[in-house]
Structure 1
Amino acid sequence: MLVRLETPYADTTAGDLSFALGLPELPALHVLRLPGLELRLLGASHQVVWTAAGGERLVETVACLPGRDPHLPSSMDGAGYRFESTVEPLGAAPPWQELAADPHALVGVFPGDPNAVTALRAEERGWRTWHAYPQTGELVTTRTWLGEC
């Protein structure tokens, strides 16, 4: 699903991002609700809320978070949870159109540049995200796995 946002993004470079587990749900610009999963676009990047069949919840936030030092780990492993992130040059052909047609994906385009995008896609055992910063030529990708990693 493609969403054209009217709100400017709060994070302006990969170095602004922080990672957190267990924060409360933050105000979202748009939410894609899927069974057991919410993909949430924030003005400051993304938040995913996963709810297990038994009611267990996990909230992952990758965003510019006031009061927190910016830090995005390249990897993190926990019981039944694995997170990886990379920062690379923003290529000439990001996968926005392909993702926009996927019913399990949410693509938010921020004003000012067609590549100022935050995208999230649900996968069988987790999710992926893309955060593009055309002003600095950076693309941040994250991948999260749940269960046996």
Structure 2
Amino acid sequence: MSTFLRAFHRDRRGVAAIEFALITPAIALLAAASFAVWQFAEGRQEMRSALEVGAHYYMNGGSDDAVAATLARSNWRNRPETGVIVTARACRCGEVVVACASLCPASRPPAVYVTLSATAPLHRDGREVTDRTVVRVR
């Protein structure tokens, strides 16, 4: 019996197959996790690119918030059905937020900032991701 056990212990046939069977689940899990991370990053980049299209509209002289939002929405590749782009205006005199119709000291008009925000469920579990960009339009 002991000679049989010694012979079995020295026999190395099939060791590579056993090692492969042990490591394959870890490799598959790593590949699935990498794909999920890539998919999230790709969705986030597409969202960011759409916001940049809206920002470029303002930088090229545009002034209509609805048009900027529509341009950004139409340029959002693979936008989820619930993906939303909204705009918001804020006027400031220096660091102080003021009404856009008012004047700053020295009778100067306030600086106008437009915030373009995009929100979409990019996570697999449905959690929403929000990104935004702010453009000074005046």
Q: Taking CA–CA contacts closer than 8 Å with sequence separation of 6 or more, which of the two structures ends up with the larger relative contact order?
A: 1
Structure with more of its chain in helix, by fraction: 2
Instruction: Kindly name which structure, 1 or 2, has the bigger radius of gyration based on alpha carbons.
Output: 2
Structure with more of its chain in strand, by fraction: 1
TM over 0.5: no
